[in-house]
Amino acid sequence: MKILIISPVLPYRNVRHGGGAILFSLMEALARRNDVALAAMREPFEKEKVEELKSLVEVVVDFPRRETSEESLAALANGGFASKARLWARGFLNDAFSVPTPDVKAFSDLVLAHLSERRYDVAQVEFPQWLSYFVKKIRAPIVVGAAHDVVFKAYDRMRVQKKNVAHRALATLRYALEKRNELATYRRLTRVYALSDFDKNLLLRAEPTLKAETRRAGFSPPAISSDATRERNMILFVGYLARGENQDGARFMIDDVMPLVWKTIPDAQLHVVGGGAPRWLLEKGDGRTIFFHGYQENLRAFYERARVMTAPLFVGGGIITKLIESLMNGLPAVSTSVGNEGVQAPPNEAILIADSAEAFAQAIARLIQDDELHRRMSEAARRHFEQNFRIERVAESLEESYRRILSEHAMG
């Protein structure tokens, strides 16, 4: 099959963005049996990665971000009220009304021009809610989309959590408008793929007429290292720390959970891995019990050394890439009910679920102190990964779905 992948993020090996990591793994698998081309937006510093990708797929559109680069957005986020209001308005207009940023419009126009000159069996749009302007404009016969998360789900939770009446009213308005536009975007697609059964069912409850399926995240497991030694007191947190939900998770671990852990395990250490951390968060590191490691291109050493993985997420959901990687590496994890929605690891078997600081601390302490529990959960984690997230199975399932769509289209 001839497949064009259209993405607002550049997928490459060891990319820091979880969605980009999921897409790279899938793209690599699809390219083994199909003619795959890529049209993607990228950060200015990712130019060398584009050259590396050309040995795997044909890169037909390479668009460097300008005013929506990580650097530009960070400057806005760290600016005054006017800058933050501009950043909020930019996201709101795109998500609620498909009004694109200049970067999204320029990228979309380049891809549309390419599609006017070249035909593909399938146009595969990643993060279609971010590219809703493009989805409205494209006229290719078969256009599918991969919803890496259901955006309106996050705003639904935010409006419930807001305590200020005005903030709750604003969040409710944004939820209603974003839900309407997100579902309208998905209705234009030949097929929308959620990354979990939870999100697929959520979409179908909101819009029963959608043609929705599940396209799981998939990875190739690393070989198990025979000389890896776990450090009993090492607790791991992984996340891109420019994102608000990851900042909240790291703060929750440092301020709320670790003081409770230290009461029973005084030498416990929290290792926070991920780039983009603001200064106020970095200042919480002391080099003795709280360590910040910044962006790491390869996380395997951390997954092999750590005793416990933590993923405290209270807003959003979707697929948490770091949880899948934890399962893949047999690293027992503690997460919230929200964090486990997409992964659906069996609670108390392949994962421990905790929705409060007290429960989180207790679960971490159990995994540090109980060797038999740790061994059982490590084995169960690997089993759950093998049964659900091996990339070979994911790619074969998607190819079969594409063949069904092509057959339906040929029959009219």
191 and 255 fall within a common domain: no
Whether 12 is in a domain gets the answer yes
- Do 5 and 27 contact (CB within 8 A), yes or no? yes
Q: Decide if pLDDT at 359 tops 80.
A: yes
More confident residue, 41 or 319: 41
Distance of CA 84 to CAs 42, 75, 100, 168, 319, Å? 23, 9, 18, 19, 27
- The CATH number covering residue 332 comes to 3.40.50.2000
Q: Which pLDDT belongs to residue 77? A: 59
- For 364-410, write each residue's pLDDT tens digit: 999 999 999 999 999 999 999 999 999 999 999 999 999 999 999 99
**Token reading at 262:** 């230290």
Q: Give the per-residue SS3 of the chain.
A: CEEEEEECCCCCCCCCCHHHHHHHHHHHHHCCCCEEEEEEEECHHHHHHHHHHCCCCEEEEEEECCCCCHHHHHHHHCCCHHHHHHHHHHHHHHHHHCCCCHHHHHHHHHHHHHHHHCCCCEEEEECCCCCHHHHHHCCCCCEEEEECCCHHHHHHHHHHHCCCHHHHHHHHHHHHHHHHHHHHHHHCCCEEEECCHHHHHHHHHHCCCCCEEECCCCECCCCCCCCCCCCCCEEEEECCCCCHHHHHHHHHHHHHHHHHHHHHCCCCEEEEECCCCCHHHHCCCCCCCEEECCCCCCCHHHHHHCCEEEECCCCCCCCCHHHHHHHHCCCCEEECCCCCCCCCCCECCCEEECCCHHHHHHHHHHHHHCHHHHHHHHHHHHHHHHHHCEHHHHHHHHHHHHHHHHHHHHHC
Whether 193 is in a domain gets the answer yes
200 and 52 fall within a common domain: yes
Q: Which pLDDT belongs to residue 344? A: 95
214 and 332 fall within a common domain: no
> Could you tell me the sign of the dihedral formed by the alpha carbons of 221, 227, 232, 233, in that order?
negative
Whether 229 is in a domain gets the answer no
206 and 186 fall within a common domain: yes
278 and 181 fall within a common domain: no
265 and 335 fall within a common domain: yes
- Do 203 and 194 contact (CB within 8 A), yes or no? yes
Q: Which pLDDT belongs to residue 226? A: 58
Mean pLDDT of 101-127: 97
248 and 141 fall within a common domain: no
- For 65-87, write each residue's pLDDT tens digit: 987 777 766 666 577 888 778 87
290 and 175 fall within a common domain: no
180 and 275 fall within a common domain: no
110 and 242 fall within a common domain: no
384 and 265 fall within a common domain: yes
Reported confidence tier of residue 17, pLDDT bands at 50, 70, 90: confident
Q: Decide if pLDDT at 59 tops 70.
A: yes
Reported confidence tier of residue 182, pLDDT bands at 50, 70, 90: very high
Whether 228 is in a domain gets the answer no
Whether 278 is in a domain gets the answer yes
Q: Decide if pLDDT at 335 tops 80.
A: yes
Whether 304 is in a domain gets the answer yes
Mean pLDDT of 235-259: 94
Q: What's the rounded Cα separation, in Å, for the pair 76 and 233? A: 38
Mean pLDDT of 191-219: 97
Rounded to the nearest integer, the mean pLDDT of the chain is: 94
Q: Decide if pLDDT at 319 tops 90.
A: no
Whether 8 is in a domain gets the answer yes
Query: How much of the chain exceeds pLDDT 70, in percent?
Result: 97
Q: Which pLDDT belongs to residue 373? A: 98
Domain that holds residue 181: 2-220+390-411
Q: Decide if pLDDT at 318 tops 70.
A: no
- For 276-317, write each residue's pLDDT tens digit: 899 999 999 999 999 999 999 889 999 999 999 999 998 875
Lowest-confidence pick of 125-139, 201-215, 241-255, 356-370: 241-255
Looking at the structure of the chain, the number of domains it has is 2
247 and 199 fall within a common domain: no
More confident residue, 248 or 70: 248
Whether 226 is in a domain gets the answer no
